[in-house]
């Protein structure tokens, strides 16, 4: 029977468990054996008990659980070749030749690199007598399929990453709570949200809650943003608004790439706009908790598609990443998606914000 491994890697996100459940059950449905690799790449490098066979019942109830029940880690050992050599040995020993990985772009790139090195790693394991030719004979090719799990919605070529809508819902709930107390006291609040270099969470929170001003990395504010922001909030106040909400993405910066901090924004609102201002940093509350209905559905459909991709893969097929585009579950080239994602970061670093926005817009238009 064919053996398929599933793991979660990088920062956790709501919906990862739904993906694990779908991969395990779809693998079993296809008469394969399913293996969970615990604690991300750490488990792959350690092997042994960290790679466990999963039965149908082992994933019961997973779909509605937050975080990742099989654990995750940001593993340094796998970044080095000796770590990947050990990982290759562990997979051969367990008889696994296909891996479905749910994680962010870093985790998925690492997986594809592993695949490209696979034959070289096996040869080295035979040369060093760790394995024999007979051991490696059935494992000439490693299949990798990516699922994008991240609250940041930062991977190009997919409309939504697993977890981003749960996180957005949680952030909106938090902003709604802040709203009531802000309105009572006529205060201003600066709310910092996650997202690293991707402004999606901040932007969509702003849209969904009617925030007064939003800071995102892809489109930094104008040179005179301090003035502009104060004028806008004052105008809103003059129209009768009793509260002010400013959303700052944690990766926000100005046109010169100087970080825009919640403290700097607070000081401006207090001193220039004359508002009693507080800061709320939402932190990991945004990443925790139960997945939304959308993420349960997305992770399940994508997990099913990931196993289909494994079953249909040939040695020549480029590693796919499972995406959602215009409400359809589709496969895209993992390397192309990662490359396009990097292009956004490169454009931001080069202060080419028009290009960064063009790339983001293209994602939504695709």
Q: Which residues bind ligand F6P (CB under 6 A)?
A: 11, 104, 150-152, 194-196, 250, 287
Answer whether 22's CB lies under 8 Å from 299's CB. Answer: yes
Q: Report the nearest approach of ligand F6P to the CB of residue 176 (Å).
A: 21
Minimum CB–partner distance for residue 220 and ligand F6P (Å):
18
Q: Which residue, 150 or 166, has its beta carbon nearer to ligand F6P? A: 150
> 66: annotated binding-site residue?
no
Taking the complex as a whole, the smallest distance from the CB of residue 250 to ligand F6P amounts, in Å, to 6
Q: Which of 12, 42, 152, 154 is catalytic?
A: 152
232 among the known binding-site residues? no
Shortest distance, CB of residue 85 to ligand F6P, whole angstroms?
Answer: 27
Beta strands in the chain (DSSP E): 3-8, 33-37, 51-54, 98-103, 143-148, 188-193, 213-215, 244-249, 277-281, 320-325, 328-333
Q: Between 111 and 194, name the residue whose CB sits nearer to ligand F6P.
A: 194
- Burial category of 26 from C-beta neighbours within 10 Å (exposed 0-12, middle 13-18, buried 19 and up): buried
196 assigned to a ligand binding site: yes
3-state DSSP call for residue 337? helix
Which one, 194 or 203, has the nearer CB to ligand F6P? Answer: 194
Closest CB to ligand F6P: residue number: 194
Distance CA 136, CA 122 (A): 7
DSSP track, 240-296: T---EEEEEETT-B-TT--B--HHHHHHHHHHTS---EEEEE-GGGGT-SPPPHHHH
278 is in an annotated binding site: yes
**Is 152 labeled as catalytic in the residue annotation?**
yes
Residues forming the annotated binding site for substrate?
A: 150-152, 187, 194-196, 250, 278, 284-287
Residues forming the annotated binding site for ATP?
A: 11, 74-75, 104-107
């Amino acid at each position: 029977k064919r053996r398929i491994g599933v793991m979660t890697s990088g920062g956790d996100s709501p919906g990862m468990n739904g993906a694990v459940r779908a991969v395990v059950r779809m693998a079993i449905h296809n008469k394969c054996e399913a293996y969970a690799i615990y604690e991300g790449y750490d488990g792959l490098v350690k092997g042994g008990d960290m790679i466990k066979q999963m039965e149908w019942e082992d994933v019961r109830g997973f779909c509605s659980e937050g975080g990742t029940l099989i654990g995750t880690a940001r593993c340094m050992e796998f970044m080095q070749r000796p770590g990947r050599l050990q990982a290759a040995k562990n997979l051969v020993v367990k008889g696994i030749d296909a891996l479905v990985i749910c994680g962010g772009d870093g985790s998925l790139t690492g997986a594809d690199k592993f695949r490209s090195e696979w034959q070289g790693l096996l040869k080295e394991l035979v040369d060093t007598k760790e394995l024999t030719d007979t051991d490696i004979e059935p494992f000439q090719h490693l299949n990798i399929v990516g699922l994008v799990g991240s609250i940041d919605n930062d991977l190009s070529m997919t409309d939504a990453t697993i977890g981003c809508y749960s996180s957005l819902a949680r952030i909106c709930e938090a902003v709604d709570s802040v709203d009531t107390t802000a309105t009572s006291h006529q205060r201003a609040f600066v709310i910092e949200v996650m997202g690293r270099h991707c402004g999606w969470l901040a932007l969509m929170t702003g849209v969904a809650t009617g925030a007064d001003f939003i800071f995102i990395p892809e489109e930094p504010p104008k040179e005179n943003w301090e003035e502009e922001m104060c004028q806008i909030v004052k105008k809103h106040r003059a129209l009768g608004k009793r509260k002010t909400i400013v959303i700052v993405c944690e990766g926000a910066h100005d046109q010169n790439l100087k970080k825009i901090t919640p403290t700097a924004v607070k000081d401006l609102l207090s001193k220039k706009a004359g508002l009693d201002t507080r800061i709320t940093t939402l932190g990991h509350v945004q990443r925790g908790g139960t997945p939304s209905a959308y993420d349960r559905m997305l992770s399940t459909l994508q997990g099913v598609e990931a196993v289909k991709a494994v079953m249909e893969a040939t040695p020549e097929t480029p590693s796919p990443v499972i995406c959602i585009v215009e409400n359809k579950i589709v496969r895209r080239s993992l390397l192309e998606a990662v490359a396009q994602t990097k292009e956004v970061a490169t454009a931001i670093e080069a202060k080419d914000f028009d290009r960064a926005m063009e790339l983001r817009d293209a994602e939504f238009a695709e």
